[in-house]
Structure 1
Amino acid sequence: MSARIRFNAFDMNCVVHQSPGLWRHPDDHSARYTDLDYWTELAKLLEKGLFDGIFLADVLGVYDLYGSSAAAALRTGAQTPVGDPVPLVSAMATVTEHLGFGLTTGTGFEHPFPFARRISTLDHLTRGRVGWNVVTGYLPSAAENLGQSDAFDHDRRYDNAEEYLNVLYKLWEGSWEDEAVVADRESGIYVNPDKVHPIEHQGAQFTVPGIHVSAPSPQRTPVIYQAGASPRGTEFAATHAEAVFVAAPTKEKLAASVARLRASLESAGRERDDVLVYALLTIITDGTDKAAQAKAADFREYVSSEGALALMSGWMGTDFSGYELDEPIGHIESNAVQSAAEAFRRAAGDDREWTVRDLAEWGGIGGLGPVLVGSGESIADQLESWVDETGVDGFNLAYAVTPGTFADVITHVVPVLQRRGRYPTAYEYGTLRHKLFGGGDRVSSTHPADQHHRRIHTGTHSRSDDAARPSSHADSGAGYLVSTGSNRKGSLP
């Protein structure tokens, strides 16, 4: 049977996410990012399109490498100003029933104890539809503003993140037993204190002796997302992630990334399909190929080269302000820039020497991912090719204009994929984790969080047994359906 194709919407609480300059387009509504109605309308649209979720990126700093200043990012609105993504989730959850929510927050800028409560609260309020994208931070400006100017050694950030997650797993999984909440009106006992345990964590970075202050939420641990592409990041993802986001401009590079991750999962003692892989992608579509090409040409007229280079400078660690727009990339002494430019050149089928301007134009719509242009039929053909040839599970869809890009995908692409049997026609009921993997509300038995849950229980059943029986939330009639199927990635309803 052909593999299912999955969609996430990729957005951010700002006016310019991945397509600098496009906020000026008359069809773009991103400047409404401070309007709660914008987010609730978007959530309802995405649920209509049966998207797995909306993935909310975030940064706490500014892109100030370009010209050694934040001026370009401020002028072009390139991920600056930016709002907190967390408050958006409750509002979007209120107007939807199935849509998942992937939140990005950094492990370096908040203590895990209050963060654990915030996520448990959101998981309760959304009825188990929350995921967390674990980032260690990559903008020095964020660390500096928190007095952490020495905290940006790459591997040290991941070492800190390992302990951070260990604390969270202990709080979410190892503090409250499943039967701790009694809520017995006759006895007057709400919580059985014998079934609530202090985690007694004392580590290199954190000391957390006490109990988790929130009752266990539907998923306990949110679905864990991760996007690190370095060897250390891949190792981290293989240990902790349940969904991974990758950005690759060509099928060859994407296939290599997917294969590398699957191998790392096996090395970490997990199953190869324990993780869903979503690739960054932007789709520009319309009723015909000609109309889609015209739409793409119109969008490109609004691209801000300055905004694109401000973002590219931060992503690639190179200040592009010191180069002329028409200067060949070969003059730039950076392996990261050279390899990226070569990949973009191959993706575009272009054998000429690329310039800084070419790089800015590539990154002007959709960031570092490829842009597919065509009718619904043409896009469906291309998506099937990407999935079948790379092993990727789905796509993290960036937008050129919002909500128009997402609406176009839902109008022109989704029905074609549904007719071909590659896209669902209805949501499965249950938590986000159950929707994604079909194995229940809780982390799998191969996930490191599970050991903390097993530790506080009798040992008469394993977490894999729990995945096959109704959870306490299903028993309560709250609508958390648990499947007895063994397919971690679920099936098309």
Structure 2
Amino acid sequence: MTQHKKILLNAFDMNSVGHINHGLWTHPRDQSHRFDELSYWTDLAKTLEAGLFDGLFIADITGVYDVYQNNIELTLKESIQLPSHDPSTLVSAMAAVTQHLGFGITVNLSYESPYQFARRFASLDHLTQGRIGWNIVTGYLDSAERLIGQQGLKDHDLRYEQAEEFVELCYKFWEGSWENDAVLKDKTQRIFTDPKKVHPIQHQGRFYQSQGVFQVSPSPQRTPVLFQAGASPKGLSFATHHAEGIFIGGDQPEKIKKQVDQIRALAQAQGRNPEDIKIFVGITVVTAETDQLAQDKLAEYQAYASPEAGLAHYSSSVGIDLSKFSDDEAIPYQKTNSIASVNNKFKEQSITVNDLKAQHSLGGRYPLIVGSGTTVAEKLIQLIDETGIDGFNLTRTVAPESHHDFIRWVIPELQQRGRYKTAYEHGTLRHKLIQHGDHLAVEHPVNHFRYQTSSHETESSLNTDVTLQQDEHQKIQTQHSEKQFA
């Protein structure tokens, strides 16, 4: 029942100085300037595991924030996700000092080769013993396109069509090339892998081509846990088709609940179990021993935060130079190729630059919860119970202080109320989050790409499947959905 739902919790971070709450790198106790030191990340991983966090979710961007004032001057001065380093390089080190903590890594598929990406993540799934997840993004920055030598951002919906094929090709590598029992490690007979149980992939698609055998043997989860944050109609359709974890924005419970209900209904319409999708909301928390001490700490943090840096980040998120508007001028809605869910707010309500600066008082736009451990715990529980979400992505403020504070003050209060685990379960990240074993469920579209051994007919149908064009494959998906309802 909903009221007994245990809260899922990820720390939300980035391999950079400024992530969400901008300007706080200037706070005397902040350590985020050490983001390029391995010990910064291994210490964080150990801290989060001590706090029984489900995962560390690491954001990433390709490109730079150059929309505000049409340059990167403020971006460089305030370190607004610049410099930022590759997040996947951190995983092995953090996995080596933890046993249970999951790692959700953002990778923009628009600038990756499906094969090299699939190989890297299958390798990480082996090394972490099944604790890796992939946050699927398609990109929204024109600066990224120029960096990698393309002519400009592809149309929003076209990016999702390319994403669909990219993900399907990864499924073929992860699930369709090697049978589960292909690896024998038989020293006596000198057979490491049974050649009859490894099969080449044949893919001729609109965006990608690939022929041959995947180089990585089946990893604990095979396919990493899939996260997504699409909020446009195309993005939501993609997310509810593929994702196991979906990130949504929102500060009003009724709006969050509306999104949750829509996501679960869309998942069901696509033939999936809606409860197999875990929904997370991003939050910022400032907490201390008492409500008053938490308010004092917030005031202290605000003295170092940069609302303008938050505005510059926001400008790139919506693809509009907000420096062009006076402080009390309502920002008009403009259709852009950037983040649809953020941009749509200008359509729904009158928002001025002053409104945004007030919202970015800590340099970030996530809902801010301030108070003692008791106050924060009660607000989080209320939000879970009123909206039907499953958990939170907790952003940092002053690093690593804010995580230590949350673990010290909030987690015991959640545990006392029976709403947060007191020990980790064993198993892969997928099993811990979704409770259905290590692999994706048969209702998931990945099942179309698994190597079937039940009959020669299924085997040849898989080989046919592999060469289907995207529109033909869509037909199969529709049929699959219809069968689920039958």
TM-score by length of 1: 0.88
State how 1:29-178 maps to structure 2 within 5 Å. Answer: 29-178=31-180
Moved more, 332-341 or 390-399: 332-341
Q: Distance in 1 between matches of 2:27 and 2:105?
A: 27
Write the mapping of 1:234-383 to structure 2, written as runs, cut at 5 A: 234-324=236-326, 327-330=327-330, 332=332, 334=334, 340=345, 355-365=352-362, 367-383=364-380
**C-alpha spacing 1:294/1:288, structure 2 compared with 1 (3 Å):** same
Match of 1:405 among 402, 410, 424: 402
Q: Distance in 2 between matches of 1:360 and 1:190?
A: 61
Equivalent residue, structure 2, for 1:478: none
Q: Which moved more, 1:242-251 or 1:420-429?
A: 242-251
Cα deviations by residue, 1:73-124 (Å, 9 ceiling, x for unpaired): 1111001110000110000000000000000001110110011110011000
C-alpha distance in 1, partners of 2:60/2:432? Answer: 24
Report the 3-state secondary structure (helix = DSSP H, G, I; strand = E; otherwise coil) of the residue aligned with 1:200.
Answer: strand
Task: State the partner residue of 1:185.
Answer: 187
1:401 positional shift: 1.1
SS at match of 2:185: strand
Report 1:402-481 matches (<5 A).
402-453=399-450, 455-458=451-454
* Residues 403 and 201 of structure 1: CA distance in aligned 2, closer, same or farther (over 3 Å): same
Q: Counterparts of 1:4 and 1:51 in 2: how far apart (Å)?
A: 12
Q: Give the letter aligned to residue 186 of structure 1.
A: T
Asked if the contact 1:366–1:399 (Cα under 8 Å) also holds between the matched residues in 2, the reply is no
> Which residue matches 1:487?
none
Letter in 2 for 1:238: T
Contact 1:20–1:364 (CA under 8 A) maintained in structure 2: no
Report the CA distance shift for 1:207/1:26 in structure 2 as closer, same or farther (over 3 A): same
Look up the equivalent residue of 1:89 and give its one-letter code. Answer: V
> Could you tell me which amino acid in structure 2 is paired with residue 125 of structure 1?
L
SS of equivalent to 1:270: coil
Given the superposition, is the C-alpha separation of residues 112 and 250 from structure 1 closer, same or farther in structure 2, using an over 3 Å criterion?
same
The structure carrying a bigger helix percent of its residues is 2
Answer whether contact 2:12 2:59 (CA < 8 A) is retained. yes
Give yes or no for contact 2:294–2:371 (8 Å, CA) kept in 1: yes
Amino acid across the alignment from 1:340? K
Residues 157-203 of structure 1 show CA distances to partners (whole Å, capped at 9, x for unaligned) of: 00000000010000000000011111111111111111100110110
Q: Which amino acid aligns with 2:130?
A: G
Conserved 8 A contact 1:303-1:361: no
Secondary structure at the aligned position of 1:160 is classed as: helix
CA distance in 1, matches of 2:288, 2:184: 55
Partner SS for 1:133:
strand
Equivalent position amino acid for 1:412 in 2 = W
What is the DSSP-based 3-state SS (H/G/I as helix, E as strand, rest coil) of the residue aligned with 2:276? Answer: coil
> Is the CA contact 1:155–1:232 (under 8 Å) kept in the aligned structure 2?
yes
The SS at the match of 2:106 is: strand
Q: What secondary structure, in the 3-state scheme, does the structure 2 residue paired with 1:209 have?
A: strand
Counterpart contact for 2:306–2:363, Cα < 8 Å: no
1:390 aligned residue: 387
8 Å CA contact retained: 2:182, 2:198: yes
Structure 1 residues 199 and 221, CA gap change in structure 2 (3 angstroms) = same
* CA positional deviation for 1:429: 0.4
Q: Which runs of 5+ in 1 are unaligned?
A: 346-352, 463-493
C-alpha distance in 1 between matches for 2:90 and 2:163: 25
* Dislocated runs of 4+, deviation >4 Å: 331-339
* Contact residue 333 and residue 344 of structure 2 kept, 8 A: no
Matched, 1:225 2:227: yes
TM-score by length of structure 2 reads 0.89
SS at match of 2:393: strand
Q: Closer, same or farther in 2 for the Cα pair 1:25/1:342, shift >3 Å?
A: farther
Contact 1:247–1:280 under 8 Å retained in 2 = yes
- Conserved? CA contact 1:140–1:152, under 8 Å: no
| SS, match of residue 163 in structure 2 | helix
Identical counterparts, % of pairs: 47
Alignment partners' CA distance in 2, 1:227 and 1:199: 29
Question: Is the Cα contact below 8 Å between 1:64 and 1:70 reproduced in 2?
Answer: yes
Go from structure 1 to structure 2 and tell me whether the alpha carbon gap of 1:342 and 1:42 turns closer, same or farther (over 3 Å shift).
farther
**Per-residue CA distance 1:268-315 (angstroms, 9 max, x = gap):** 111110100010111110000000011111111112133111101011
CA shift for structure 1 position 400: 1.2
Counterpart amino acid of 1:222?
P
CA deviations over 1:210-257 (Å, ceiling 9, x no partner): 111011100000000001111111000010000011111211221111
Between 167-176 and 359-368, the greater mean CA deviation after superposition? 359-368
* 3-state DSSP of counterpart to 1:273: helix
Aligned residue for 1:476?
A: none
